[in-house]
Amino acid sequence: MFAKNGFQNVAEKIRLGRFLLERFSKPGIDSYTPAERMRMAFEELGPTFVKLGQLLATRPDLVPREFVDEFKRLHDQVSSVSFVEIKEVLEEQFGVDVGRVFQDIDPIPLAAASIAQVHRATLNDGTAVVVKVQRPGIADVIKTDINVLYYLAELLQRYVAEVRPFNPIGIVDEFFKTLELELNFVVEANNIRRFQENFKDEENIKIPRVYFELSGPRVLVMEALDGTLFSHIASAEASAGIDRLQVIRTGLRAYLKMVFRDGFFHGDLHAGNLFILEDNRIGMIDFGIVGRLNQRVRDAIANMFVALYSEDYERLAYEYVELAPYSAEVDVDQFAKDLQDLLAPYFGLSMKNVNMGRLLMDSTAVAARHRLVLPSELMLFFKSIVTVEGMARSIIEDFNLLDYALEFANELVRTKYAPERIRGELTVFGRDTADLLTHLPRQVKQFVRKVNHPDFAFRHSLVEIEELKRSVETSSNIIFLGLIIGSLILSASMTMSLQSVPLFLEIPIVSAIGYGLATLLGLVAFYNYIKK
């Protein structure tokens, strides 16, 4: 299929040329760009490859911009499955005839996609529900396609040097994990349960109820939402009495709460997955794709927004560097300069001329050029920003995402230094220090054995003896100070729970003294380190 679309040279490079049954490309294929030809090949190869292209469309840090733009044109183009086949899946799940579970079920699907389709139904007690049913045989199709993708990725990595920096095997790994979760509707049901818990006190947000007793890996039964799809808001506004500004504020506040407070956000929040309900409340559906952000990533995102607002490109660069795995090849000064070249021309313009989400996505491509591998959850967040900003712009032309986000970002930055959080982090630090002190003697013993080994001495025989002696002495002093510092921190952490003792800055004074001495000795150790 790739050869037919003009990629015979790639097939030859990965040693598959001898298997080509058609030696020539389709007529006129050379008039298309490589990105267009790749998109056409994905469309012909079916739903798994279409989903792969859709994933790559959100990863400008992994694939060139022209491919990202072309893959955005990929859409699920699937016909619905006959109700006879859907009924078989349902009865396999329920163990009884469908008529004993539902008062009625609409045989015509409400929506159909590559993995599942959705039908309206009514339970025997009269409750309106929607039933999401996995397409029969789709799991086997995806499993076969994934195996093919792994095989092609391994060949590309081995034989085509130009694609190695993009890590094709890593791309397939990420894609496989995403699809594996989407295929298990029990995971989606649990996602919905978590969102319900997170929004239980938010009257303006509606998360549908899941009927767990009727749901399973291939079937998901949920409460039906009665409202207007966000994608239809323009035509429905007058008749439904929708306050579009209130809807935008409510939706954006919910989104930012998911990101900055909960660290658990909807990863596919487009206009087809949002309902506007009575009294301008918002209902959400389709929770198969979610993002999870730990505290470190949330802090980094908050700092990124603050850095963008203040045009602090060095700070923005360091946030990227901190999130990515360590790389000695990164020139942070040049990285900051490249970010400034990308972002600075847009500051000061009216926000209707600036797409902040798109700029953040483009900044990840700059990071990739500097050999930074960003976490997938950060990329999913940036993708969601593009979608949310686009929906808001359809209603408020001059919508400024940065102003809304800064409110939450500044709140998160302030809570970073709250006494409760500091106390929790000190407890974790104390446990880590205790673990270090437990294992350090054994590691030092192994290091000494290695140094005393004849081979080790031979390999280092050309090093200046005096310089080596000074380094060993300095290192010994630093290790000694480290042991003392670790002991002080551990002791101070253990006394944090003492009651009825004088406090200093809301910390027991004994603990404060211990931390103070540890800080002082840490400065001495740092001085000795830079002096050597």
DSSP-derived 3-state class of residue 118: strand
H or E element in which residue 479 lies = helix 465-494
- Position 429 scores a pLDDT of 55
In the structure encoding, which two tokens stand for residue 473, read together? 């002495």
Q: How many CB atoms lie within 10 A of CB 359?
A: 17
Q: What is the per-residue pLDDT for 401?
A: 77
pLDDT tens per residue, range 130-152: 999 999 999 999 999 899 889 88
Tokens of 373: 């591998």
pLDDT above 70 covers what percent of the chain? 74
Question: CA–CA separation, 338 vs 362, rounded Å?
Answer: 11
Q: Cα–Cα distance between 365 and 381 in angstroms, integer? A: 15
The tens digit of pLDDT for each residue in 320-375 reads 999 988 777 889 999 999 999 999 888 766 556 677 788 888 898 899 889 888 88
Q: In 3-state terms, what secondary structure has residue 119?
A: strand
Sign of torsion over alpha carbons 342, 347, 352, 355: positive
- In the block, residue with structure tokens 């938010």: 202
Note whether 235 and 212 are within 8 A (CB): no
Which carries the bigger pLDDT value, residue 474 or residue 113? 113
Answer with the residue of higher pLDDT: 185 or 444: 185
| Whether pLDDT at 7 is above 60 | no
pLDDT tens, 382-427?
Answer: 888 888 888 888 777 777 777 777 776 666 556 554 455 555 555 6
Closest by CA position to 42, among listed 30, 54, 31: 54
d(CA 130, CA 314): 49
How is residue 362 written in tokens? 């483009």
Q: Residue 460 — very low, low, confident or very high, per pLDDT cuts 50/70/90?
A: very low
Question: According to the 3-state scheme, what is the secondary structure of 499-525?
Answer: CCCCEECCEEHHHHHHHHHHHHHHHHH
Instruction: Please report the DSSP string for 184-236 in residue order.
Output: -HHHHHHHHHHHHHHTTT-TTEE-PPB-GGG--SSEEEEEPP-SEEGGGHHHH
Between 295-310 and 313-323, two packed helices, what is the crossing angle to 10 degrees?
160
Between the two ends of the chain, the Cα-to-Cα distance in Å is 62
pLDDT at res. 223: 96
Cβ neighbours, 10 Å, residue 298: 20
Give the pair of three-digit tokens for residue 46: 């079916």
Higher pLDDT, 479 or 318: 318
Query: Is the pLDDT assigned to residue 293 strictly greater than 90?
Result: yes
Residue 405 CA to chain centroid, in angstroms?
A: 18
| More confident call, 102 vs 158 | 102
Nearest of 447, 440, 450, 354 to residue 403 by alpha carbon:
354
Kindly tell me if the per-residue pLDDT of 502 is higher than 50.
yes
pLDDT at 481 over 60: yes
What are 162-188's pLDDT values in tens digits? 777 667 888 888 888 888 999 999 999
Mean pLDDT over all residues of the chain? 80
Least confident of 93-102, 403-412, 454-463, 494-503: 454-463
Q: What are phi and psi of 201, to 5 degrees?
A: -100, 5
Q: Which of 270-279, 302-311, 463-472 has the lowest mean pLDDT?
A: 463-472
Percent of the chain clearing pLDDT 90 (strictly above):
30
pLDDT by residue (tens digit) across 220-230? Answer: 999 999 888 88
- What is the mean predicted confidence (pLDDT) over 67-73? 84
pLDDT of amino acid 461: 45
Residue 420, pLDDT score:
56
Question: What is the signed CA dihedral for 319, 323, 329, 331, rounded to 10 degrees?
Answer: 0
Rounded-to-integer distance, Cα 460 and Cα 447, Å? 15
Task: State yes or no: pLDDT of 238 exceeds 50.
Answer: no
Highest mean pLDDT among 41-45, 75-79, 92-96: 92-96
Largest CA distance in the chain: 89
Give the dihedral of Cα atoms 325, 328, 330, 331; nearest 10 deg: 150
464 falls in which pLDDT band (50, 70, 90)?
A: low
pLDDT of residue 220: 97
SS3 of residue 88 by DSSP: helix
Tokens of 58: 């959100």
Take residue 256 and report the two structure tokens written for it: 């930012």
Kindly tell me if the per-residue pLDDT of 520 is higher than 70.
yes
pLDDT at 462: 44
- Please name the residue that has the structure tokens 């295929």: 183
Per-residue model confidence (pLDDT) at position 341: 94
Whether the pLDDT of residue 23 is over 60: the answer is: no
Among 531, 475, 274, 520, residue whose Cα is nearest residue 388: 274
pLDDT of residue 168: 83
Which of 62-76, 243-257, 329-343, 506-520 holds the top average pLDDT? 329-343
Give counts: helices (H), strands (E), the chain: 20, 13
- What is the C-alpha separation between 127 and 265, in angstroms, rounded? 28
